[in-house]
Structure 1
Amino acid sequence: MINIKVLKAFNGDCIIVSYGEEEKHNILIDGGQGRVCFQQLRTYVDSVKKTGNKIDLLILTHIDSDHIDGILRLLSQKTFDFSMIEEMWFNFGKGLKDMFGINGENNQVSLYDNATEISWKQGVDLEEIVRKAGIRRRLVTKLERFSVGGASITILSPSKEVLKKFSEQDKEEKKATTQIAYSNDYQKSVVELNQKEQERQISLTNKSSIACLFEFEGLSILLLGDADAEEIVKSLTELGYSKNNKLKVDFCKIAHHASRHNTNNELIQIIDCSNYIISTQQTTAGRPSKECLSRIICNSGKTISFYCNYELDWNKVFTKEEFLKYDMKFIVLGQQGVDVGEE
């Protein structure tokens, strides 16, 4: 049995994967942002503690505020029991410097110490909390495979090359790569958007996002964080998957809150999936984008169900004719989440 909960993380991610029958295992992915999300997260952590279980793995996919904020708030609580966390994956800071041989005397990376951007300050603060608490921490890169509570987790992103660039970037580069236009594409048709050439405006921070394949007792979930589709396709290809040998997964968490920049046709064509998770409310940046959803609808070769953590007005996105033609379903996730394999 696998259960997925997608908390109301505003325009971010906070996802809980629980699995196992006799012994429950829990993986927490990101902490979202906003008051409602934090309340839900704290209630979940309290319930895990009451049952005598732990968080087997805490994954911070990357340091953007809509992913790190809730984790930082949670671990900053004076009453938080750090023994609940068995291990944390966190690709940031000193660990990256050590990985690439960046020493203190010859260090050109000023962001860790002098950052003005909120998310980078949060990353520095979180790293200090994790260090003081003695949480076992690991840096992970593509194609590494781990066993967590009897489940297999294969890392699909980031590559060491991306992490090296991420560790070396300067402030001007980071600011330039995070400027994304604010608009939506809801007036365009599914066919037109699917045929449109994809624009890949992806920040280096998002490219550094941890994305992975989770597998347990014959069931599987793609958890794509905010990763770059091209990097995911490369990893899956290296693992032997192709259009003729698709990766079958029961659920896929769409990258970057269904941004048009992070999902391409090649990715959807290499996986066999009917159930996609959208983690966002409707944003001024045009997420969830119709282009992203159109690529999924047109390249899957099957009827698609979208699972959403907010109730959105999809009649503003798709026409009546498109609903009839593609028969896609939009399902609002409650606090109980969704059980994988029983849909």
Structure 2
Amino acid sequence: MNLDIKVEKAFNGECIWLRFGDKKKANVLIDSGPARFTIGFKRIIQTIQKLNEEVNLLILTHIDNDHILGFKNYIFKNDCKLIKKIWLNGDGISIYKYNQLLSPRNVGRLVEEIRKKEITLVTPVCEGYEEKINGASLKVIAPKKEAIINLAKLIDKFNLNTGIQYAKSLKKLYLEDKYEEENTDTNKASICFVLEYMNKKIAFLGDAVATDVIEGLDKYYNNQKMDIVKIAHHGSKKNTNCDLIKKLGANEFIISKQSIVHKETIARIANCCKKSKIYCNYDWWSSKNYFNRTDKSTYIDSGRLSICEKNLIQISVEEKI
């Protein structure tokens, strides 16, 4: 009996396929990638159909284009009968005027199309909401209701890819670390949840920020350790801090991104865990001299940090990770 986590190669977007169960399999999709991944999203649906299964739940963590456009492009050209339920904080949104591809009108059209296709829509999705699927429990730990209300405000200037430093060593970045949390309304409203299946707890952090996740963990999973964590916001240094890594208690992590990940985030993981393993759906570090000699001798060669390209993670529920 396995829980399969497939981190799709959705370019710099995100799409994760969970498949679990004994005789009867359940499928949960987390986000749908950018427009470039529309064909990839369609292939996932076709594969599930060939298996004579259904998409029990599609979780659109938030409406940034790199998470939602794969599905948006798909729904208008397909009947979507296989998709039974959707989580989405997108009803009544009046933002995405400057920085995003999705205008308020397009989001409204998407919600209308979901309802037109008679797919069960759960909105809003706030902390404390819980759903059980095929023996698994999915419990939302963020966002707060106030964060969803703030989606009506315009986004401040934000650029994920500024200030990447990979010339410095992991140790030096950690010793000089200054965490500056992002404060964008869209990502603060991102759905963040914990999947409990058999004896495993797996946290999917969407694009949530560290302080909100820590608050949710304290409220719903106080002193409980996670087995594996999907790191927030493609590994952005503005979403994951050392306090969060320690609070999560995991030593295995997932990062979904095609281009280079902020090295500050990797430094925090490597130094806050006695031993850590990071699964990535792309190899973004090998050709860029991302890890210098000090990194390799101190972390990689010593076994303190393991990083690999692997987009299908199979977890045995009989044994502890």
Higher helix share: 1
How many percent of aligned residue pairs carry the same amino acid?
31
Give the Cα–Cα distance (whole angstroms) in 2 for the partners of residues 92 and 240 of structure 1: 27
C-alpha distance 6-180 of structure 1, shift in aligned 2 (>3 A): closer
C-alpha distance 29-180 of structure 1, shift in aligned 2 (>3 A): closer
C-alpha contact 2:141 2:220 (8 A) present in aligned 1:
no
Whether 2:281 is the aligned partner of 1:309: answer yes
C-alpha distance 248-330 of structure 1, shift in aligned 2 (>3 A): same
C-alpha contact 2:38 2:69 (8 A) present in aligned 1:
no
1:106-138 CA-to-partner distances (Å, cap 9, x unmatched) read xxxx549x8894123542332121121111111
| Alignment of structure 1 residues 40-119 onto 2, 5 Å | 40-77=40-77, 80-94=78-92, 110-111=94-95, 117-119=100-102
The aligned length equals 309
Q: Which moved more, 1:202-211 or 1:321-330?
A: 321-330
C-alpha distance 138-252 of structure 1, shift in aligned 2 (>3 A): same
C-alpha contact 1:177 1:202 (8 A) present in aligned 2:
no
| Alignment of structure 1 residues 203-214 onto 2, 5 Å | 203-214=184-195
1:62-96 CA-to-partner distances (Å, cap 9, x unmatched) read 0100001101112122xx232211210011123x7
Which amino acid in the other structure matches residue 194 of structure 1? Answer: Y
Any stretches of 5+ residues in structure 2 without a counterpart?
none
Whether 2:292 is the aligned partner of 1:290: answer no
1:250 to 223, 227, 251: 227
Which amino acid in the other structure matches residue 309 of structure 2? Answer: V
RMSD value, Cα: 2.1
Whether 2:320 is the aligned partner of 1:339: answer no
Whether 2:9 is the aligned partner of 1:11: answer no
Any stretches of 5+ residues in structure 1 without a counterpart?
97-109
Note the C-alpha offset of 1:323: 2.4
C-alpha contact 1:251 1:340 (8 A) present in aligned 2:
no
Give the Cα–Cα distance (whole angstroms) in 2 for the partners of residues 180 and 308 of structure 1: 18
Moved beyond 3 Å, runs of 4+: 114-117
| Alignment of structure 1 residues 259-270 onto 2, 5 Å | 259-270=236-247
Give the Cα–Cα distance (whole angstroms) in 2 for the partners of residues 213 and 240 of structure 1: 9
2:147 to 157, 162, 180: 162
1:192 to 158, 172, 175: 172
Normalising by structure 2, we get a TM-score of 0.89
1:221-250 CA-to-partner distances (Å, cap 9, x unmatched) read 110111111100001111252xxx3x3222
Note the C-alpha offset of 1:18: 0.5
C-alpha distance 27-138 of structure 1, shift in aligned 2 (>3 A): same
Map of 1:182 onto structure 2: 162
C-alpha contact 1:252 1:275 (8 A) present in aligned 2:
yes
